[in-house]
Amino acid sequence: MKQDIHPDYHTIKVVMTDGTTFETRSTWGSEGDTLNLEIDPKSHPAWTGGARQITEGGRVARFNKRFGGLKLKK
């Protein structure tokens, strides 16, 4: 391993969205820092399977709002 090219690898504390904490080793921050997560596997819909809407008004929603009332003539 080359000397002086790798980041410092140290212990930090991670706080999940529900308040639980654990210690891990990371290159983030400095020794003893606390990382507070805003989204984690316990609250993110990708892992929980929930239908929670993160963003509203995407392209499809805007299209349907704008042109949803149009009908084809027969």
Instruction: Give per-residue pLDDT as tens, 12-69.
Output: 999 998 999 999 999 999 999 999 998 888 777 777 776 555 556 678 888 888 888 7
Judge whether 22 and 14 are in contact, CB under 8 Å. yes
Return the closest-CA partner of residue 25 out of 7, 12, 8. Answer: 12
Tell me: the pLDDT tens digits for 48-57? 776 555 556 6
What's the confidence (pLDDT) of residue 52?
Answer: 52
- For residue 20, the model assigns a pLDDT of 93
**Helix%, strand%, coil% for the chain, nearest 5:** 20, 20, 60
Q: In this predicted structure, what is the pLDDT of residue 56? A: 62
Instruction: Determine how many CB atoms are found less than 10 A away from the CB of residue 42.
Output: 12
